[in-house]
Amino acid sequence: MTAQTRTHVTGGIGTSVRRPDGVPKVTGNFAYASDLHSKDMLWGATLRSPYAHARLVTIDIGPALAMPGVHAVLTQDDVSGLPLFGQEEQDQPVFCDGTARYWGEPVAVVAADDEETAKRAVAAIVTEWEPLSPLDDAEEAAALGSTFREMKIRRGDEAASGAVVVEGIYETASQDQAPLGTEAGFAVPDGTGGLDLYVTSQWIHVDHRQIIACLAMEPDQVRCHPAGIGGAFGSREDISLHIHVAMLALATGRPVKMEYDRSESFVGHVKRHPSKMWYRHEADAEGNLVKVTARLLLDGGAYAHTSRAVLANAAFFTVGPYRCDNVVVDAQVVKTNNPPCGAMRGFGTVQACFGYESQMDRLAETLGVDPLELRRRNALGQGDVLATSGQTIEGLLPTIEVIDALESIPMPEPLASDDPRLLPGGTGLTTPSSKVVRGVGYAVGLKNVAFSEGFDDYAEARVVLTPAGVEVHTAAMEVGQGLVTVCQQIARTVLGIERVAVVWDDTSHIGSAGSTSASRQTQMTGGAVHAASVGLRDLILEDHGGDDLRDDGVYRTGERVATIEEVCANGPVEHLVQFRHPETYPPDENGQGDVHAGFVVAAHRAVVDVDPELGLVRVVRVDTAQDVGKALNPQAITGQLEGGIMQGVGLAIMEELVVDHGVIRNPTFTDYLIPTFLDAPAVVTRILEAPDSWGPFGAKGIGESPTISSTPAVVAAIRAATGRALTRVPVHPEDIVGI
Amino acid sequence: MNVTITINGEQRVADVAGFESLLNVLRDDLDLPGTKDACEQGECGSCTVILDGEAVCSCLVMAADAEGSDVTTVEGLSSDGDLHPVQEAMLAAGAVQCGFCTPGIVVAGSHLLETNPHPSELEIREALSGNICRCTGYGAILRAFETLSEEGT
């Protein structure tokens, strides 16, 4: 029996059902990791390096330990297991190992009766440092061979050339995910030498693997629990305070809570890699791409984290959603004393997209061709090969269709008001409407879904039927995106039963769901929930000779043959699935091969009003058309599209982590600017459905695409308004004014 | 020192240190964790409460200064499962993702509608411009308040 889309179940796929955690979230009753506490708990706090690069000559924890109310002070000497952690490469010491390699690197942690005492104890630790010269320049690091990964892509004829050539150098700044919930964790000893951990995370099983190695404990001694998350956007894919809070709890035998404040959060998680990209596009006279040559340089900061995979994404998407037979890419991610970088929404493709879309606009201008027409002419689609890796696009990839859909969205009305709230700069500045110039820009972005390059990527889910309804058990982290709702909808639709609850299990009760990243959970955990639901339904129907399952039981030719209670007479009935996407492979020495499991394409149009004299920008509208495969929850999709666009707008004109000799100069919400309600453009969306061959009901992962091409679209619009080249994001007022 | 504050209609006494903010006292001493701590600089609005009729960032209010005042937190806007119209509208519009900014927006938005039952789009944007949301891009939140404005709740 093949499960079919149910029509009689309420709250199935394709409907904008409300999220089950909505009521607790609007009433303040949702428990985030930072809300967890117990009466006997201690507070943890962290001593951090004041230098980006320095030798720790001496450290004296004595004065801190001697303070009343202080229960433990721990350093690298107290790490009982592997002294290093890291998701891909274990290269970062749990605490400073004698040399600090980035500003804010943890040196020691303290547990004390209260937060204030813990902070004072941190200040009481006496350290002597020998400052060293920080390696803070990516090109210098590249010249020194200080790299995490180097990639070479060679496809086609290196000697090929085109009649029309455009070249450019592009830079993107580091961006902070800035989720509103900072890093927080609660560690509770279990009285038998083990502990339970509740830490903000995007992937508790990969945390668990690293934590038990550093603690030298058996897997079942440490249980990582999914905790309430206040946003993530990549910042929680790597370890932050997990091992520290666990060590403090084990050392004191007491529950310990840690919570970073905003400034500490800025140093306490990985960033988006800053990049520099050299591009040369060659085309024939009609604008067909003949050859793309590029060098990409990403700064990974002090430790590896996910830099290798970020570089791969940047390199494989160097050309974007366009056909090109001859490609030369050299890509490096370097190791410096700058803040460590890792995952952020778009994961390497954001940087590349700013480069290739800027180049496509230059090419269009040089050829005198409409920028969208140039993109259509080169658009990658089903049956074509990815320009870089040579991988054939097996599934539907509606690049031309998203461009067409985007173009069909009516343009906004011209600026018709002198209301300063509608002018660049807003009420605080002095732009008269007569000085405002409007610009329109476009960009198209391509992204892979899930993990690539041969990684064994899977998600486990268990679907259980009980007399009270269906339970979906998973360890997939809900970070706000709405996976919880989608899992319910999928299970309801397959099983025909409305009562579905998602139950988050800890690492001892269920296998890995993989990371909540790479736009992967709707397809991966959604795929697992779908497959487990199909398996459970088939099992129940077979056991009871039924042909239909409903809220109140099993049916055969319209007659009920068993109630749900009867189905569960011997206990809950369940089915467990480990879901894998189609196999991928590592690239060969020329970067060739079937490295990706699936692709998503989106297009953006930005309309901006600019005051060229003051260099002020108001983003009026950002419109988008995106392929989602199958819209499982249209309202949640709109939320992802609008939210992702805002982070792309942020990178285009506001968000920049200012790093000076390795030191972050703006680690506060006062100085790191995030778009507010007054900065937010209107958004018009067009959702296309070109089903994928794997995953639930053809749905594709959609979380990252909204961010990827919105940044270059906004910059293209500012270029159109000002005529400036604007080769670096974020665009600052002085770039527009030309000073 | 002991500070007496009327919170959500109930007189509460807390033993506070001089350096403690109202936010910390609500969260850590009075078991009202619905008010969120995200920047402690008055930039993000996650900690918004109504203090004597004004929407304020509770991270910028010293707890000792709140002596004798009347405070409404997000926990005070709903009772016995009955949601405040702002809470209901936020849910209906899909304006909640991670939800960390939500309590602050619910409180600031309820204050807006009390002082201006029919705010225009620009008035909504201005009134909530001190509340940062990193997930939604503000679109769904705006739609929630536009619905409320039309209804004149």
Provide, as residue numbers in chain A, all residues whose Cβ is less than 8 Å from the Cβ of B131: 676-677
Q: Which residue has the tokens 């343009």?
A: A411
Return the percentage of chain A with pLDDT > 90, whole number: 96
A423/A405 Cα distance (integer angstroms): 29
Q: Are residues A469 and A506 in the same domain?
A: yes
Return the percentage of chain A with pLDDT > 70, whole number: 99
Q: Are A422 and A415 in contact (CB under 8 A)?
A: yes
Render chain B in DSSP notation, one character per residue.
-EEEEEETTEEEEEE--TT-BHHHIIIIISS-TTS--S-SSSSS-TTEEEETTEEEEGGGSBGGGGTT-EEE-GGGS-BTTB--HHHHHHHHHT--SS-SSHHHHHHHHHHHHHH-SS--HHHHHHHTTTS--SSSTTHHHHHHHHHHHHHT-
Q: Are residues A564 and A617 in the same domain?
A: no
The CATH number of whichever domain residue B70 belongs to comes to 3.10.20.30
A345/A184 Cα distance (integer angstroms): 21
Where is the domain boundary, B76, B96, B114? B76
pLDDT at residue A419, as a whole number: 87
Where is the domain boundary, A216, A237, A268? A268
Provide, as residue numbers in chain A, all residues whose Cβ is less than 8 Å from the Cβ of B143: none
Q: Are residues B67 and B95 in the same domain?
A: no
Q: Are residues A525 and A598 in the same domain?
A: no
- Spell out the SS3 assignment of A278-334: EEEEEECCCCCEEEEEEEEEEECCCCCCCHHHHHHHHHHCCCCCECCCEEEEEEEEE
- Domain residues for the domain of A318 are 275-451+588-737
- How confident is the model over A592-620, as a mean pLDDT? 97
C-alpha distance from residue A289 to each of A162, A315, A377, A534, A734 (Å): 8, 18, 9, 45, 34
Three-state DSSP class for residue A707: helix
Q: Are residues A391 and A517 in the same domain?
A: no
Is the CB of B122 less than 8 angstroms away from the CB of A422?
yes
Provide, as residue numbers in chain B, all residues whose Cβ is less than 8 Å from the Cβ of A19: 94, 96
Token digits for A700?
Answer: 């594709």
pLDDT band at A501 (very low <50, low <70, confident <90, very high): very high
pLDDT at residue A1, as a whole number: 40
The CATH number of whichever domain residue A71 belongs to comes to 3.90.1170.50
ipTM of the complex: 0.98
- Measure A414 CA to nearest chain B CA, in Å: 17
* Closest chain A CA to residue B137: A643
Q: Are residues A326 and A366 in the same domain?
A: yes
The CATH number of whichever domain residue A362 belongs to comes to 3.30.365.10
Contacts for A670 with CB less than 8 Å, ≥ 6 apart: B41, B43
Q: Are residues B112 and B131 in the same domain?
A: yes
Q: Are residues B59 and B91 in the same domain?
A: no
CA A459, chain centre distance (Å): 17
Q: Which residue has the tokens 């009901």?
A: A697
Token digits for B41?
Answer: 């600089």
Where is the domain boundary, A580, A601, A617? A580
Indicate the pTM of the whole model.
0.97
Where is the domain boundary, B58, B76, B94? B76
B140 — contact with chain A (CB < 8 Å)?
A: yes
Is the CB of B36 less than 8 angstroms away from the CB of A178?
no
- How confident is the model over A44-72, as a mean pLDDT? 98
Whether pLDDT at A8 is above 70: no
Q: Are residues B6 and B68 in the same domain?
A: yes
- How confident is the model over B38-53, as a mean pLDDT? 97
Q: Which residue has the tokens 């990706």?
A: A596
Whether pLDDT at A215 is above 70: yes
Whether pLDDT at B96 is above 80: yes
pLDDT at residue A352, as a whole number: 98
**Which residue type, as a one-letter code, is found at position A205?**
H
- Spell out the SS3 assignment of B44-72: CCCCEEEECCEEEEHHHCEHHHHCCCEEE
Whether pLDDT at A5 is above 60: no
Q: Are residues B6 and B71 in the same domain?
A: yes
Give the number of domains in chain A: 3
B20/B33 Cα distance (integer angstroms): 15
B86/B147 Cα distance (integer angstroms): 10
pLDDT at residue A542, as a whole number: 98
Q: Are residues B91 and B132 in the same domain?
A: yes
Q: Are residues B45 and B67 in the same domain?
A: yes
- Measure A263 CA to nearest chain B CA, in Å: 8
B33 — contact with chain A (CB < 8 Å)?
A: yes
Give the number of domains in chain B: 2
Q: Are residues A607 and A522 in the same domain?
A: no
B122 — contact with chain A (CB < 8 Å)?
A: yes
- Domain residues for the domain of B19 are 2-76
pLDDT at residue A2, as a whole number: 43
Token digits for A198?
Answer: 């509740």
A152 assigned to some structural domain: no
A215/A247 Cα distance (integer angstroms): 7
Indicate the residue of A22, A421, A682 with minimum beta-carbon distance to B91.
Answer: A22
Q: Are residues B130 and B104 in the same domain?
A: yes
For residue A225, what is the enclosing H or E element? strand A222-225
Is the CB of A678 less than 8 angstroms away from the CB of B125?
yes
- How confident is the model over A471-482, as a mean pLDDT? 98
The CATH number of whichever domain residue B133 belongs to comes to 1.10.150.120
pLDDT band at A3 (very low <50, low <70, confident <90, very high): very low
Strands of A559-562's sheet in order across: A548-550, A553-556, A559-562
Q: Are residues A396 and A518 in the same domain?
A: no
Q: Are B143 and B93 in contact (CB under 8 A)?
A: yes
- How confident is the model over B9-18, as a mean pLDDT? 96
- Taking alpha carbons only, the member of A486, A480, A477 closest to residue A180 is A480
| pLDDT 10s digits, A639-677 | 999 999 999 999 999 999 999 999 999 999 999 999 999
Q: List phi, psi (to 5°) of A245.
A: -70, -35
Q: Are residues A443 and A477 in the same domain?
A: no
Q: Are residues A209 and A343 in the same domain?
A: no
Q: Are A427 and B128 in contact (CB under 8 A)?
A: no
Provide, as residue numbers in chain A, all residues whose Cβ is less than 8 Å from the Cβ of B23: none
Query: Mean pLDDT over all residues of chain A?
Result: 97
Three-state DSSP class for residue A77: helix
A254 assigned to some structural domain: yes
B82 — contact with chain A (CB < 8 Å)?
A: no
> Torsion-angle region of residue A519: left (phi > 0), alpha (psi -120 to 50) or beta?
left
Is the CB of A28 less than 8 angstroms away from the CB of B33?
yes
pLDDT at residue A7, as a whole number: 54
Where is the domain boundary, A563, A580, A597? A580
Whether pLDDT at B153 is above 70: no
Q: Are residues A203 and A67 in the same domain?
A: yes
A535 assigned to some structural domain: yes
Where is the domain boundary, B76, B96, B122? B76
- Taking alpha carbons only, the member of B35, B130, B52, B47 closest to residue A30 is B35
A94 assigned to some structural domain: yes
| pLDDT 10s digits, A410-453 | 999 998 788 888 999 888 777 888 889 999 999 999 999 999 99
- How confident is the model over A195-212, as a mean pLDDT? 98
- Taking alpha carbons only, the member of A356, A361, A412, A417 closest to residue A387 is A356
A438/A721 Cα distance (integer angstroms): 6
pLDDT band at A380 (very low <50, low <70, confident <90, very high): very high
- Measure A430 CA to nearest chain B CA, in Å: 18
- Measure A265 CA to nearest chain B CA, in Å: 10
- Measure A725 CA to nearest chain B CA, in Å: 28
Q: Are residues B64 and B126 in the same domain?
A: no
- How confident is the model over A504-513, as a mean pLDDT? 98
Whether pLDDT at A6 is above 60: no
pLDDT at residue A441, as a whole number: 98
Q: Are A487 and A526 in contact (CB under 8 A)?
A: yes
